Structure 1
Amino acid sequence: MSFGRIPEEVIAAVRAHYDIVETVGKYVHLTKHGKYLKGLCPFHSENTPSFTVTPELQIFHCYGCGKTGNVIRFMEEIEGYSFPEAVQVMAEQADLPVEWNWRAKQAVAQVNPMQVQAVEAYELSAKFYHYVLNHTKQGNEAKQYLKDRGMNDHLINQFQIGFAPDDWDILARFLDKRGYAANFLEEFGLLIAKQDGTGYIDRFRNRVIFPIQNFEGQTIAFAGRILGAGQPKYLNSPESDLFTKSRTLYNWNQAKGNIRKTKQVVLFEGYMDVIKATQAGLENGVATMGTALTEEHCALLKRQTSEVIICYDGDEAGQAATAKAIALIEATSMKVLVAMLPKGLDPDDYISQYGASSFLRLVLDESVSATKFKLIYLRRNHILLNEEGRKNYLIEAINLISEVDTSVEREFYLKELSHEFDISLAALKQDCNEIRQSKQKNVTQRDNNDKSWNNGRNENRKRYPSVPTLLPAYAYAERRLLHVMIQDRDIAETVHARVGEAFNIEDHAAIAAYLYAHYAQGYSANAAHFMETLQDDRLESIVASILMMNEDIPVTDEILEAFVQQILKVPEQKSIDEKKEAMKSAERAGDALLAAQIASEIITLEQQLKRS
């Protein structure tokens, strides 16, 4: 992570103000376990608590998914903030004086200055198109089109909708006067090079323009809807370093606050649906950008919410897309509901025909569960007017219901089948239970199926899930040393003088190097602060695991020396082992003289090792 322009004293003040137990406790039910507190992890699905908070160190760590860090990192993960945004929000909520002015463009500049310039070009272009729509004769027809679609001036301004005139190079000339190179604008999708190589033309012409913004509210792309006849009807900016469809959701910036507040998001297929839904009073709607829902979209949603309502078109294509989206969302353990629009209507059409209040009721109050949708969707594959169709549907429906976790919910759906098809509930329950038992025989009996880290049966694996149960002596010594070095600067300086970075495990050596540098900058021992500076998620997770070693035995000078010797002798022992292998090879080759010479060297090395 990069601290950007945030003063260290601001970060320190935020860390000091927020107690991690109190902060995490607002999101997770924690129970006391010795000097730790435990609860179900908010970042992944589990039945056995593996999420641990250590008040003494002011850190959290999940032994399941590996999430770890201090109170600022927790807020980043749980609320979907960037690091600067988390610090700023937490500082403002605590009424701490914030004397720096963070902007997303500054953070982007550290990564790629060209992206900052591209954002500026898109922002200028969005303002230009918005001006053309509202204040020129060229925009009159587009403005009337939007009015006919039911949009008022407030909505047009809120989404900064614009119009690209039917000219070949009006935007190119506009940006050229402001110093933007045409080839640069082509790279980021605003212009297109002529085929004859004589210049550049505007990508968007005679189209209503819908700006696409990133998480921070910066314009990074456009969606254009052609005015009148022509193809393609809809046109998006091409993907670039700024814009990736699989990771972009339309209206995310405006909706994220309401999504965080309600822990619910409504997912649409298109930007026009989002705009009309917003006008109807729904403030937590987002849409994918001309692509199907992706795992990246789901990961973004999960950082902000626990419930997704899918509101796709009511036609066959929309229902098929809904079925695919459900599978992706359920894989993240978020709750899924589906707004069932009448066949042939999209959200925009429904609002126009039935009004805003009816739409809000349909989406927010009458959405059906994912299981209910699957049962409805399953019907399209069967002809229920004949006996064979009904039988096959029932078999598949029972199989689907068997996957539902709770017995109450299973019985609810089985009762519906019983009433509809006049079959006894007992028979349906028997078949459903047999299917569940058959499936469970093929699954290892543990939480989260294949996640052995979460079965809670092996204490050593719980303490350090990424290493074997029995650690080599030198590995244990390195972990114990790092455990006290992070909390005691004097011991760290002693180890630095004796061992340096000669830890035998690469990750341990890296952690030691970071720690030496941390202290060299004048910082005192502070585990939460140190973890904040690591810039590596894997190392953060290892440090958290090391800090949570349940070892209360003090490290005396004698124990410290023993640990140091255990670490230093590993290279010598490896050298001895290598020579033993070489001696065996010489013996197999019949070279007795060489074998004897190597044996002598081994004796010398072993004597040296004993004396060390």
Structure 2
Amino acid sequence: MSNGRIPEEVIEKVLKHHDIVDVVGRYVHLSKQGHYMKGLCPFHSEKTPSFTVTPEKQIYHCYGCGAGGGAIRFLMEIEGYSFIEAINQMATDANLDLGVDLGPDNRVQQDPDKAKLYEAYEFTGKLYQHILKNTEQGKQAMEYLRARGLSDKLIDTFGIGYAPSNWDTLAQLLEKRQYALPLMEKGGLLSARQEGQGYFDKFRDRIMFPICDWKGRLIAFGGRAMGDAQPKYLNSPETMLFYKSKSLYNIHLARPQIRKKQQIVLFEGYMDVIKAWEAGVTNGVATMGTSLTEEHTEIIRKQADQVIVSYDGDSAGQNAAYKSIPILEQAGFLVKIAMIPNGQDPDDYITNNGSERFVREIIDGAVPTIKYKLHYFRKNFKMQEDGEKLRYMKQALKILADVPSPIEREHYVKELSSEFHYSFDTTLQDLNEIRLQAEKSNHSGDNNAKPWNNVRNERRPREQTPSLLPAYYNAERQLLAIMLFDADITQYVERNLGDQFNVDAHGALAAYLYAYFAEGNEPNFSSFIAMLQEEELEGLASSIAMMGNSHGVNGRVIDDFISKIKIYKIEKLIEQKQEEMIAAAFSGDMAKAGLIGNERTSLIKQLKSF
């Protein structure tokens, strides 16, 4: 079977050194239940475990979101690895010499331009650091950073550098090292001169903040002007390495603490992240001046289930925080908002009030989103006027009407009625009337069409399966469940059924099984599922494998399954021939109608033979 450049014996070697319980157990708390291990699914949010690991078969499967596969697929899903990256990581963890050079990243090897850009960015980052720390050109920049409260240790930790004011310092050095300058321009390090001849540095006279991907590879820069130059912050343009909507500053350094705490702190800028890091908030990342996107949430969703939004305290920052709430909550996060007073940003607050107070009052004191929304809208009303107070109360009750938890609603109603000296019962009655009106105007319910054991939205929506599945569908799944663990039966099915499966995905899985056993492989589900390298097929295979193969298997049972599958296909052909015969007769072609009728009669006789 084809596995890209990885020989099957290499995959076998890696899998033999990794028990799936150990692999999954690093990320999910598993408890033993009979022959299985169960835990909360890391791929969608749930309150009771639906995630199962089967040591005997070396697979995992979630009955909630449908995720499933073997150890390699789990690492690919949880870490975002490619297939080769997962193999490499597992080999490294087991101190294995695979005897082949897989390379650090198959995607890079397939794209030499990307490989060159990674090299160029690494070189450029070291150059900027050297200029900052060791040259006269960088002296002013170093003084600026120290005046902002950054120690040498912080500067080194975050790889901060300085791009000199010369027009072509970097361009000359890149050309000297034989980097293709058009590629460097395409990659965002240089700019082309308007005359069309030559290149100059993209960044000049700026403090340089390296931006890395989650693996720690330098992919872009953020440059901050020290004086009045505009724009104050200048990021690299989007390139084949850098996508603003998918990149988070400091994700590579913060990742271990994010995973440990299951919590991420979201900032707006580089300095906020760096100063917060020194204050002890080492699970912070920044969106780098761009709005929070669904792609950003994809990056952190596998790492954490809680987000604290710590944006600037000015109007722009608080508006951005408000807009982030639905994006984060829809992605399934428990969200809190850090409220910074007096329009300060986190950097300013830490400088003015100290690290300990920032952690205690701002981060640990972050408020639930409902409380933040009440605060956010409150600034629009003149609270010293009675009429404005009433208008605010109506707005506040509309916000609380959307809260699903009765206890939570009651909690905030008590706070509001107490603050404004209204009767609790009257306030609660008004709230309930708002909810009742909303229900009357929305007959579609809560629009959560596919709930299954969830507290929040699922990562993978599942198709709802009818309670009574067709006989052919069950027969195909039961047959595949047996084939997964029996080479002889698989070969028998190939001879007597071949590609006549009615469900395309079932047919694809059968084709892989035919090929797998045709190569002389012994039944080994862990190895087979690693060969698939297709997420959907791995999930299907793990789901079918969970059915087991204890069907009182004998030749008669297998033939019965094959018959049910064939019968359905023949029934569909008979229906098709009936429609074709009617169409031919309607068009006046009686000869054609007669031929089709004969074919239909033959199919009916064939059906009766089962």
Cα shift at 1:40: 5.1
Instruction: Give the distance between the partners of 1:36 and 1:465, measured in 2 at CA.
Output: 25
Instruction: Give the distance between the partners of 1:583 and 1:561, measured in 2 at CA.
Output: 32
**Preserved contact between residue 267 and residue 285 of structure 1 (Cα < 8 Å):** yes
In structure 1, the residue matched to 2:515 is 517
Instruction: Give the distance between the partners of 2:432 and 2:88, measured in 1 at CA.
Output: 52
- Structure 2 residue 538 is matched with structure 1 residue 537: no
Change (3 A) 1:424 1:73: farther
In structure 2, the residue matched to 1:339 is 338
Instruction: Give the distance between the partners of 2:595 and 2:4, measured in 1 at CA.
Output: 55
Cα shift at 1:66: 2.4
Q: Which amino acid aligns with 1:211?
A: P
In structure 2, the residue matched to 1:265 is 264
In structure 1, the residue matched to 2:232 is 233
Instruction: Give the distance between the partners of 2:80 and 2:105, measured in 1 at CA.
Output: 19
**Preserved contact between residue 270 and residue 286 of structure 2 (Cα < 8 Å):** yes
Change (3 A) 1:146 1:469: same
In structure 2, the residue matched to 1:461 is none
In structure 2, the residue matched to 1:61 is 61
**Preserved contact between residue 19 and residue 71 of structure 1 (Cα < 8 Å):** no
**Preserved contact between residue 3 and residue 83 of structure 1 (Cα < 8 Å):** no
Change (3 A) 1:606 1:365: closer
Runs of 5+ unmatched residues, structure 2: 455-461
In structure 2, the residue matched to 1:318 is 317
SS, match of residue 60 in structure 2: strand
Q: 1:475 is matched with which residue: 473, 476, 479?
A: 473
In structure 1, the residue matched to 2:583 is 585
Cα shift at 1:426: 1.9
Cα shift at 1:264: 1.4
Alignment of 1:476-491 (within 5 A): 476-491=474-489
In structure 1, the residue matched to 2:524 is 526
Instruction: Give the distance between the partners of 2:270 and 2:294, measured in 1 at CA.
Output: 20
Cα shift at 1:487: 1.8
Alignment of 1:485-500 (within 5 A): 485-500=483-498
Change (3 A) 1:477 1:137: same
Change (3 A) 1:11 1:168: same
SS, match of residue 225 in structure 1: strand
**More deviation, 564-573/173-182:** 564-573
Q: Which amino acid aligns with 2:602?
A: T
**Preserved contact between residue 338 and residue 366 of structure 2 (Cα < 8 Å):** yes
In structure 2, the residue matched to 1:460 is none
Change (3 A) 1:186 1:223: same
Instruction: Give the distance between the partners of 1:141 and 1:104, measured in 2 at CA.
Output: 41
Cα shift at 1:73: 3.8
Q: Which amino acid aligns with 2:290?
A: T
Instruction: Give the distance between the partners of 1:538 and 1:262, measured in 2 at CA.
Output: 31
Q: 2:593 is matched with which residue: 595, 601, 609?
A: 595
**More deviation, 575-584/47-56:** 47-56
In structure 2, the residue matched to 1:428 is 427
Cα shift at 1:128: 0.9
Q: Which amino acid aligns with 1:119?
A: Y
Q: Which amino acid aligns with 1:586?
A: A
Instruction: Give the distance between the partners of 1:174 and 1:150, measured in 2 at CA.
Output: 32
Runs of 5+ unmatched residues, structure 1: 456-463
Change (3 A) 1:141 1:21: closer
- Structure 2 residue 29 is matched with structure 1 residue 27: yes
Cα shift at 1:428: 2.3
Cα shift at 1:124: 0.5
In structure 1, the residue matched to 2:163 is 164
Superimposed CA distance per residue, residues 69-121 of structure 1 (whole angstroms, 9 cap, x where no aligned partner): 2345445545666666666777777xx43336999843432442321111011
In structure 2, the residue matched to 1:381 is 380
Instruction: Give the distance between the partners of 1:282 and 1:61, measured in 2 at CA.
Output: 35
Q: 2:14 is matched with which residue: 8, 11, 16?
A: 11
Alignment of 1:142-161 (within 5 A): 142-161=141-160
Q: Which amino acid aligns with 2:244?
A: K
Alignment of 1:102-501 (within 5 A): 105-436=104-435, 439=438, 442=442, 449-451=448-450, 465=463, 468-501=466-499
Task: Say which structure, 1 or 2, has more relative contact order (CA 8 Å, 6+ apart).
Answer: 2
Superimposed CA distance per residue, residues 168-227 of structure 1 (whole angstroms, 9 cap, x where no aligned partner): 211111111111111111111111111111111111111111110001101001111123
Change (3 A) 1:507 1:492: same
Instruction: Give the distance between the partners of 1:282 and 1:500, measured in 2 at CA.
Output: 59
Instruction: Give the distance between the partners of 1:352 and 1:452, measured in 2 at CA.
Output: 46
TM superposition score normalised by structure 1: 0.88
TM superposition score normalised by structure 2: 0.89
Superimposed CA distance per residue, residues 410-430 of structure 1 (whole angstroms, 9 cap, x where no aligned partner): 332222112210012222233
Instruction: Give the distance between the partners of 1:188 and 1:583, measured in 2 at CA.
Output: 62
SS, match of residue 239 in structure 2: coil
Instruction: Give the distance between the partners of 1:610 and 1:104, measured in 2 at CA.
Output: 59
Q: Which amino acid aligns with 2:499?
A: E
Instruction: Give the distance between the partners of 2:353 and 2:101, measured in 1 at CA.
Output: 44
SS, match of residue 553 in structure 1: coil
Give the paired residue count.
Answer: 598
Change (3 A) 1:47 1:349: closer
User: CA RMSD, aligned part only?
Assistant: 3.1
Cα shift at 1:153: 1.2
Aligned sequence identity (%): 45
**Preserved contact between residue 24 and residue 74 of structure 2 (Cα < 8 Å):** no
Q: Which amino acid aligns with 1:27?
A: H
Instruction: Give the distance between the partners of 1:443 and 1:72, measured in 2 at CA.
Output: 45
Q: Which amino acid aligns with 2:14?
A: I
Instruction: Give the distance between the partners of 1:85 and 1:10, measured in 2 at CA.
Output: 15
Cα shift at 1:347: 1.0
**Preserved contact between residue 44 and residue 332 of structure 1 (Cα < 8 Å):** no
**Preserved contact between residue 190 and residue 200 of structure 2 (Cα < 8 Å):** yes
Instruction: Give the distance between the partners of 1:147 and 1:127, measured in 2 at CA.
Output: 20
Superimposed CA distance per residue, residues 310-344 of structure 1 (whole angstroms, 9 cap, x where no aligned partner): 11111000000000112211112211122211122
**Preserved contact between residue 58 and residue 71 of structure 1 (Cα < 8 Å):** yes
In structure 1, the residue matched to 2:44 is 44
